[in-house]
Chains A and B, each alone.
Chain A
Amino acid sequence: MLAWSTVVAIRRHESTVKRRSHGLLIALLVLGAVVSIFPMVWMFYTSFCPAEDLNAVPPVLIHREFTLLNYVQLLSNAPIVRWTLNSFIICAAITIGQLLFDSMAGYAFARKKFPGGRILFWLIIGTMMVPVQILIVPLYIMMVRLHLVDTLWAAILPGLAGPFGIFFMRQYMLTIPSSLEEAARIDGCGEFQTFLRIILPVSAPALAVLAIFLFISNWNSFLWPLLVLNSAHTYTLTVGLATLQDKQALDYGLLMAGAAVASLPMFGIFLVFQRAFIRGVRMGALKG
C-alpha cells in the first residue's frame, strides 16, 4: 500500500526514462502511424479530385488538378447544417449522459461490496455479448409505441447508459488507490462529495477516453438513426449524406467530401478531450 504522499506525486516523468535506442523505436512507430493514417489522407486527398480522375484505373495517385467542386455542391445544396446540428445534439446528449451514469455505476461496482452486485455486473457485461442486430426490431417497436419515432429522443434514449462504459469505468476505478477515498472521508467528505471531488477528477483520463469513444461511435452510427428518424430535418449527418448517394454508381467525390466534412467535428472533439489526458492527473495531484 502506498502512502498518500506518493500518490499525490503522480506525474509524468519522461525525463527519467532513458532515451537510448529511441531512433529505431520511433521509426517503427512512425511506420505504423503512416499505415494507419493512410485511409484518412486518401479520403481528404480524393475529396479534392475531379470526378473523372476517381474512375480511372489503375487509380491516379498524383492528380494534376484539384477542385473544390465536391465541397461547393455539398455545402450549398444539402441541409448539412441541420444534419450536423442533429448529430451534435444526439452525440452530446449521449456522451454527457453516459459519462455521468456510467461513472456512477462503475464506481458502485468498483468500490461498493453489495449483495447481488456480482450478478448485476455480469448481467451488464452479458448484454455486450448480445449482437445488436437482434435487438433492433423489438427496440424499434418500443419506440413506435412510445410515439418517439422521428424525434431525436428515439436516437438518444437507448444510448444513455452502456455496458462498455460501465465496465470501462469500473476497471479504471479499480486502479485508483482506495487510500484516496479514505483520506477524503477523514477530511469529512460524504459519499457524493467523494465521488464528485476525488473520484471524478482522478478519473479524468478515463473519462476523456470514454467521451471520445462515445462521441465518435455515435457520430458514426447509421442504422439506428436511419430507422427511428423519418424526415430530412431530423436526419443525422451520416444518414443525410447517405441520401445523396445513388444505388449503382457511388459518387466518390461527394462521398469523400461528405466523409471529410463529417470527420472534422470528430477531430475537434478528439483534440479538446485529448488535453484532459495529462491535465486530469495533475488536477488530481493539486487537489490533494
Chain B
Amino acid sequence: MSQVMRYSNGFQHFPRPMTRLRNLCQTFLVARMHNTKVGFESGRFSVGVVRERPLQGSLDTSTFLSCTLVVVLFLFLVATVFGCGGPKQRPQTIKLWEFPRWRETADSIDRFAWMKRQIAAFEATHPGVSVELTELTWERGEDKKRIAIAARVGPDMITGMLPVELVERGLVEPADEYMTLEEREDFFPPALDAFRYQERIYGWPWYLTGSVMFLNLDLFAQAGVPVPDATWDDNTFLESARRLTRDLDSDGAPNVYGFGFLVRPGDTSVWPFLYPDGVRLPLNHSLFENDRNGTAEASLRRLAELIHREHVAPVQCAGWDTEALWQRFANHRDIAMAPWGIWAIPKLRTMPGFRFAVLPYPAPAGARSVERASAFIGTAGFMILRQRDEDKRELCMELARFLTRPEAQTDLAHYGVFPSRKSTGNIYPDDELMVQAQEIITSGQTVPRHRLWARIDEKLQREFQLALLGEKSVETAISDGTSQVGKILEQAKEQPPSESASARQSGTLVLVSATLLIGGLLFVSAAVVARKSSAALAFAWLFLCPAVIVFLIFLLFPLCWVMLLAFQNYSLAGVSPAWTGLENLKSVLREPVFMKAAFNTLVYAAVVVPVNTFSALVVASFIYPLSDRARALFRGAYYLPGVASVLVIAMVWRWLFNESFGLFNTALGFFGLPGIRWLTDPGVALWSIILTSVARPPGGPILIYLAALDAIPTSLFDAAEIDGAGPVRKWWHVTVPLLRPTTLFIALTITIAAFQVFAQVFILTDGGPGYATEVIVHRIYTTAIRDFEFGAASAMSFILFGVIMLASIVQYRFLRSEVQY
C-alpha cells in the first residue's frame, strides 16, 4: 500500500498553469542534481567506450556530437522518469471533468453554462475553494478521461456512468459513508443501484435516461390499428406489427414496417427483447450460465423470426447505425415502432407533423405484471476519484451533493432526462409523454457492472448482428458468443486487478527501454567512430541532429517502451506483468477476429494502393501541361476538398450510401436495378469502404506529383518530341521513369496509410456488420485505447509493422532508381 501512496504522490496533483513553467525548470534541475552521479558515471562509461578505439583526426566532431546527443537524451529521459516532483497543490482546488450537456437558450451555444453557474454558486458558499472545469467533448472524450486517469493526472471528479474498472482498481472513492440515510432513501433505487458495486456505492446519481418503445401514431391510424396501452404484451406487439407492415405498391416488398431496432455494441435498446421476462441480467461471471432454460436463445430466435419469417422488420436493420434507423423512423416515417432513448422525445417534437406515443417494452405473453421486461437505463452521476487528503475528499463529496440537490435537478428538464431524486418531483409538468417515460425509466435496470462489460457487450452484439442478418444460425451465434464471453471472463479471473505492480513495472520498463535506446545509440556512434570519419560525416550528423533528437525523444523512446510490452502480459488492470515471450503474438495470431481484420486490411491495401497511385499520376500528368491559371485551379479543386473536416466527408458518404434515398440507390432504381445495402450487407460493406477511398483521386499525391513534374527539365520533353514520340509514349518513356523517386515515395506512403486505414471504418461502420469491415488498426485502437491491453495491442502493431515493412521493401526494390540526367 505504501508503494501505492508513493507512486500516486506526484502524479495525482497537477500544477496550476501559473506555476507550470517554474515547475518545468525545477524538474530539470532536480533531476540533474539527483542523478549527477549516475549521469557522470554513464558519461564516463560512454567516453571510455569511445576512447578504446583509435582516434582519427584531432577534431572528431561526430564523436562530440554523438556524446552530446547521448547526454541530452539521457538527461531528458531521467527527467521523464523522475520528473514527478513539484509543489503540492492547495487541496482546495477540485478538478472536475464534464461533458457538454444542454443549451440553455436557443441563442446560447455554451453547453457548460449550467455547470459553470453551479460552480460559481458553490465557490461563493465555500470561500477558498476553486473548481477547475475541463470541458470534454463527446467525440473521444471518454478516451481522454480514461487515459488521463490511467496516467494518474486525471481529475478529482468525473461525471458519467460507473467506471467499473476504476472501481476495481480502487481509484474511485466510495460515497456511501458520506450519504445520509434520507439521501439514500431519496434516490430512485435503480439510480442508486447503478453505482453499487459489491455492496458499496461509488457515486452520486444525477440523472437517468434509457430507451422506451416509440410508436408513430400516424402509421397506426393509417393502418387502422388501435394504439395499445402500457399493459401490452408480446401477442399484442406481434399482432400490431403484422398489421402495421404494409405493402403499398404490391411489389412483394413492404413499404412500411411494423418494427425496427438497433443491434450495436454499446446500445442497450434491444436488450429488453432478449431478456423479456424481467430476468435481471445476472451480474459478474454468470452472464449465460443462468441461461440454462435457453431464454436468450429463444428471444434471439424470436427477434430473428420477426425479420425473416414474419417480415415485420426490415432485413438489414441489424446492421444499421443510430442515424440510419433514425432517418427511417423520424424522417422517412416507414417504421411504426422502434425503441429509442428518451432524448428522442424533444427531438421528435421539432419534426413537423410527427405524432407519437411512448410505451414500455411489451411484456412476454402471459406474464404477470411484475415480470414485465424492464428497460435498460443509463444513470449518470458524479464520482470522486481517489483522494489522499481527507478534507479534500469531503469537499468533493460536498460538491457532488450540491450538484445533485433537488432544486438543481429541475434544470434537467432542459436536457430531456429524469432526475435521480424522488423529492425533485415532476420536472415535466403538463407533459404527459415525459411523465409516462419517467415511470418506465425509473423502474429500469442497469447493465451488469463488470470491468469487461464493454468487451462482453461487443462480442455478444456482433454475434447477434450476424444471426439477425442471417449470416449465422441463431444456435451458432449464441454458442460462439457464449464461448467468447467465457474466454473474456476466464481472462478476467486470471488477472485480478492490482495497482502498485503495474505502476512499478512501468517505471522499470521506462528504464529498460531508455537503456536499450542509449545502448543502441552508443553502439552506432562507436561503430561510426571506428570507421574513417570525414568532414562529410560530421556535417551529415550536424544536419541530422535536430530531427534525430526529436525522433529519439518523442517517437523512438515511447515506441521502445510500448514495444517491450508485446512480450509481457501487461494490462492496466493486470497483476505484475511477467515476461511471456511470444505468448502475445501467438494468441493474437490465433484470434479469428484479428485474422479477419488482417485479411480485410490486405484486401483494402491491395485495391487502394495501385488505384490511388495510378490515378494521382494520371491526374497530375493531365493537369501539368495546362496554363498556370488552370493548374492552380485544378490543384485547389483536387486537393482542398480532402482537407475538409472528416465528419463532413463522412456525412456526405452516409448520404450517398443511404439505402432508401441515397444517391447510389436512387440511381440504381432509375435503371430499374435493385438497391444495394452498401454498409449493412457483410459482403458489400468492405467494398463500400474501399470505394470511399478510391472514388476521389488523392489530393496530396497529386500535389506532390505536380511539384515533381515542375522539377523535370523541359528540355527532356523537347528532346523526346524531336525524336518523334507521341504524347502517350512520351509520357510512358520519359515522364514516368523520371518520376520514379516520387512514385516510390507516393506508393510507399499510400501503402503505409492504406495498411493503417482507420478513420473511414471508425466513422462509417465501426467494424461491422459482424466483423465485415474490421481492420487491423481499428483492432489496435480498441485493444489499446478502450481495453488498455497494451501487450496484445503491441503484438498486433508488431505484426502490422512487419507486413508494412515487407510491402515497403518489395516496392522499394521495384521502384528504386538512381536518377541520372
Interface positions of A (Cβ within 8 A of B): 1-2, 6-7, 9-14, 16-18, 22, 25-26, 28-29, 32-33, 35-40, 42-43, 52, 55-59, 73-74, 77-78, 100-102, 104-105, 107-109, 112-117, 119-120, 123-131, 133-142, 144-151, 157-158, 160-161, 163-164, 166-168, 171-172, 174-177, 191, 195, 205-206, 208-209, 212-213, 216, 219-220, 222-223, 226-227, 230-232, 235, 238-239, 242-249, 252, 254-256, 259, 262-263, 266-267, 270-271, 274, 277-278, 281
Let me know if B634 and A151 touch, CB within 8 A: no
Let me know if A2 and B713 touch, CB within 8 A: yes
Nearest-Cβ distance from residue A231 to partner chain B, whole angstroms:
6
Knowing A116-B527, A142-B557, A147-B27 are in contact, say whether A172-B711 is a contact too (CB < 8 A): yes
Nearest-Cβ distance from residue A151 to partner chain B, whole angstroms:
6
Besides the known contacts A116-B524, A219-B643, 16 further A-B residue pairs in the complex with CB atoms under 8 A apart: A12-B628, A26-B626, A102-B547, A104-B543, A120-B544, A123-B556, A125-B748, A133-B758, A134-B793, A140-B151, A145-B81, A158-B555, A161-B546, A174-B819, A213-B703, A222-B139
Let me know if A144 and B151 touch, CB within 8 A: yes
Does B46 make an interface contact (CB < 8 A)? no
Nearest-Cβ distance from residue A195 to partner chain B, whole angstroms:
8
Which chain B positions have C-beta within 8 A of A40? 640-641, 644, 648
The list of the 7 closest CB pairs from A to B, nearest first, reads A57-B331, A33-B637, A112-B540, A138-B558, A242-B137, A108-B543, A105-B547
Let me know if B537 and A112 touch, CB within 8 A: yes
CB within 8 Å of A: which B111-152 residues: 111-112, 132, 134-141, 143-144, 147-148, 150-152
Nearest-Cβ distance from residue B66 to partner chain A, whole angstroms:
10
Let me know if A135 and B696 touch, CB within 8 A: no
Q: List, sorted by A's number, 9 A–B pairs whose CB atoms are closer than 8 Å.
A: A114-B540, A127-B556, A131-B758, A140-B147, A175-B711, A205-B710, A208-B707, A244-B109, A248-B347
The secondary-structure label for the interface of chain A is: helix
Q: Which of B20, B140, B648 contacts A256 (CB 8 A)?
A: B648
Let me know if B648 and A138 touch, CB within 8 A: no
Let me know if A16 and B638 touch, CB within 8 A: no
Map CB proximity to A onto B152-169 as digits: 1 under 8 Å, 0 otherwise: 110000000000000000
Which chain B positions have C-beta within 8 A of A130? 559, 797, 801
Does B781 make an interface contact (CB < 8 A)? yes
Let me know if A142 and B643 touch, CB within 8 A: no
Nearest-Cβ distance from residue A84 to partner chain B, whole angstroms:
15
Let me know if B551 and A157 touch, CB within 8 A: no
Q: How far is the CA of A283 from the CA of B790 in the complex (A)?
A: 51
Which chain A positions have C-beta within 8 A of B112? 243
Let me know if A42 and B341 touch, CB within 8 A: no
Q: Which of B711, B715, B745 contacts A176 (CB 8 A)?
A: B711
Knowing A137-B784, A140-B151, A243-B136 are in contact, say whether A112-B536 is a contact too (CB < 8 A): yes
Which chain A positions have C-beta within 8 A of B20? 147, 150-151
Let me know if B700 and A39 touch, CB within 8 A: no
Which chain B positions have C-beta within 8 A of A144? 11, 151-153
Which chain B positions have C-beta within 8 A of A120? 524, 544, 548
Knowing A114-B536, A227-B147 are in contact, say whether A32-B797 is a contact too (CB < 8 A): no
Residue of A nearest to B62 (CB): A114
Let me know if A247 and B153 touch, CB within 8 A: no
Does B299 make an interface contact (CB < 8 A)? no
Residue of B nearest to A58 (CB): B661
Let me know if A104 and B536 touch, CB within 8 A: no
Which chain A positions have C-beta within 8 A of B647? 255, 259
Number of A-B contacts (CB under 8 A): 389
Q: Which of A22, A57, A147, A163 contacts B327 (CB 8 A)?
A: A57
Knowing A59-B655, A104-B547 are in contact, say whether A209-B351 is a contact too (CB < 8 A): no
Let me know if A137 and B641 touch, CB within 8 A: no
Knowing A126-B805, A133-B785, A255-B647 are in contact, say whether A16-B718 is a contact too (CB < 8 A): yes
Q: How far is the CA of A222 from the CA of B641 in the complex (A)?
A: 18
Which chain A positions have C-beta within 8 A of B708? 172, 175
Let me know if A277 and B707 touch, CB within 8 A: yes
Let me know if B135 and A115 touch, CB within 8 A: no
Which chain B positions have C-beta within 8 A of A142? 80, 554, 557-558
Q: How far is the CA of A53 from the CA of B645 in the complex (A)?
A: 21
Residue picked from B23, B622, B641, B744, most chain A C-beta under 10 Å: B641
Nearest-Cβ distance from residue B315 to partner chain A, whole angstroms:
20
Does B45 make an interface contact (CB < 8 A)? no
Does B646 make an interface contact (CB < 8 A)? yes
Knowing A149-B14, A167-B749 are in contact, say whether A270-B331 is a contact too (CB < 8 A): no
Does B800 make an interface contact (CB < 8 A)? yes
Let me know if B756 and A57 touch, CB within 8 A: no
Q: Which of B140, B144, B341, B785 contacts A248 (CB 8 A)?
A: B341
Map CB proximity to A onto B4-45 as digits: 1 under 8 Å, 0 otherwise: 000000010011010010011001000000000000000000
Map CB proximity to A onto B504-539 as digits: 1 under 8 Å, 0 otherwise: 001000000000000000001001100100001101
Let me know if A166 and B547 touch, CB within 8 A: yes
Map CB proximity to A onto B99-116 as digits: 1 under 8 Å, 0 otherwise: 111100001111110000
Residue picked from A1, A133, A175, A212, most chain B C-beta under 10 Å: A133
Residue of A nearest to B134 (CB): A230
Residue of B nearest to A207 (CB): B707
Knowing A115-B537, A117-B540, A129-B800 are in contact, say whether A147-B86 is a contact too (CB < 8 A): yes
Q: How far is the CA of A52 from the CA of B543 in the complex (A)?
A: 58
Q: Which of B111, B143, B558, B655 contacts A223 (CB 8 A)?
A: B143
Residue picked from A112, A134, A256, most chain B C-beta under 10 Å: A134
